[in-house]
Structure 1
């Protein structure tokens, strides 16, 4: 047995680490180059493990490793692959652990994980290798999508003319805490966002912002990497509807939302006769399919027939945005514009997966 296996197993036998849910928010990192030492281990891993009770068979698995600060970690193992890439939508297998001199050791009920920045090993209680995973980096199939003819480019890094009191970072990204200069009724919107890395933060303090559609309906933006995907997590219509699958990538990795929004309809007396309907693709994977939303969300503006601006919520977190463009589908024939050919039931193409060297597989 190798030294890394022996020392990591000693930790796993002695301790199944728990982590504090009410920890202080702690530091905020906006660049991988300036992140803490734990950041190198946090991310996604894809590979295989032996089938239980069958040494000749194996199954594909994915793992998401989440840094919790001060050397503490949690991880989720998915049978079949990662969310949006093979996961069988069944059990989420949780593991907890911490960083050791050799890497990160995570203990589960049946198997354990020994994690380095490039790979992860699945082992049993005796240190026998049961599986192996490689670190992967995924990219949305709609990342960098160009605005089609007939669309309005809201933000491309050249300026903030389409936003009220819009502010840009030194990198040319749009900062949260602004809204569009124009009001919008029915539309299709493409946007890309980057979440900060806040390892000690928990819940709504972990990189919070949101697309406030019409200022009424918040599509949550939050570092929910490795979480179940609840009604207040990334991809949710805030506190109303959870996403079909949690497609949140790790912090400090660019992500995409593609949104098809149809406003609620009202009669001449101001009575609502049809609810707002929305489809959303998170990193190219459908998380809401023609979902009817019964009311505004949270602190949103009251529903009504008038179009309103789209807000990028400021929640005291350095969330940034880029490549924002919109199609006004209230215009005649606008829904015939070649958008992104995104289907309702499945991703348009597999989410691109590459290893640490950028080689795709």
Structure 2
């Protein structure tokens, strides 16, 4: 149980939620659920859920119960198959409701449940598909379209190792993907989709990374339903934990808008300023002008530099990318 203060995240998802068709290999259960308590007893309380697959027959439902000033996070496991799951367990909601006995179920992409404690409460939530505000955004004036679905050979090396998809995206196959040109300070826009891998765990689940200047990794991972960490989606590997949970489920397109200021050097090549990064993940600022004291592991160099390639990490998982562009700072 953890009380969190992510009201911006809740409001953004609520306003941006859209009911769209799910992917073909979607299990019709995992995902974002929004709705409300039904009836008396829980007035003034909000509820939402994130449901993620632990296997093909087991799901974890993470409930977020709030009161307008913050939320309590509580998780419960459930079992089922073919789009129908049952959940039950004791939850500790602290100031939001104390200890409660929870029973609930998901069917037809609707999550219904009942909390029994000092006051009984029922809720109904619908599965929704949030739309990040910059998803599909065209490159602005002055930007370079690094990948628009058609221009692979213009900007990227190792073309035979790209696996173009029919939807204008490209899937990582066999090796890292790296630009021919080097870039420096500016705004990087990247859209990505992690695969649905319900039988995998941890770093084996939709793993990749976006390396700015080839040196500073913003982690890509299916860590939906987990609390933020530096090695989970949106984290700056071994450097910074996201300030908020902005991760969407697998099979949904996510956005990184990265404002990067490269390290500065004097005439003798001595570093005078560290690099800095701001990351807006799916419309939520998760890193705000964070100072980086050096590169993260696995890049093209362990030394800072004023410029470098953009590259996407191959970690053996079929992560997709699309709509990649860069706008220089000056």
Question: Which deviations, in whole Å up to 9, do the C-alpha atoms of 1:262-281 show, x marking residues without a partner?
Answer: 01112233332211111111
Question: TM-score scaled to structure 1, two decimals?
Answer: 0.75
Match of 1:322 in 2: 322
Pairwise CA distance, 1:146: 0.9
Match of 1:309 in 2: 309
Cα distance in structure 1, aligned partners of 2:73 and 2:196: 23
Pairwise CA distance, 1:324: 0.8
Cα distance in structure 1, aligned partners of 2:108 and 2:238: 35
The answer on 1:68 being equivalent to 2:34 is no
Counterparts in 2 of 1:56 and 1:267: CA distance versus 1, 3 Å = closer
Match of 1:242 in 2: 241
Pairwise CA distance, 1:314: 0.7
Question: TM-score scaled to structure 2, two decimals?
Answer: 0.81
Match of 2:170 in 1: 174
Which of 11, 30, 49 is equivalent to 1:42?
A: 30
Counterparts in 2 of 1:89 and 1:237: CA distance versus 1, 3 Å = farther
Question: Secondary structure at 2:28's aligned position in 1?
Answer: helix
Match of 2:280 in 1: 281
Aligned length: 289
The answer on 1:299 being equivalent to 2:278 is no
Counterparts in 2 of 1:122 and 1:78: CA distance versus 1, 3 Å = same
Gaps of 5+ in 1: 1-30, 332-361
Counterparts in 2 of 1:131 and 1:202: CA distance versus 1, 3 Å = same
**Conserved 8 A contact 1:280-1:286:** yes
Counterparts in 2 of 1:130 and 1:213: CA distance versus 1, 3 Å = same
Match of 2:197 in 1: 198
Match of 1:96 in 2: 77
* Structure showing the higher strand proportion among its residues: 2
Cα distance in structure 1, aligned partners of 2:277 and 2:52: 30
The answer on 1:162 being equivalent to 2:173 is no
Which of 117, 126, 139 is equivalent to 1:134?
A: 126
**Conserved 8 A contact 1:48-1:58:** no
Gaps of 5+ in 2: 1-21, 91-99
Match of 1:221 in 2: 220
Pairwise CA distance, 1:32: 2.8
Cα distance in structure 2, aligned partners of 1:327 and 1:287: 20
Larger deviation: 211-220 or 164-173? 164-173
Pairwise CA distance, 1:286: 0.6
Give runs of aligned pairs for residues 248-287 of structure 1, distance below 5 A. 248-287=247-286
Cα distance in structure 1, aligned partners of 2:32 and 2:205: 18
Question: Secondary structure at 2:52's aligned position in 1?
Answer: strand
**Conserved 8 A contact 2:220-2:233:** yes
Question: Secondary structure at 1:204's aligned position in 2?
Answer: helix
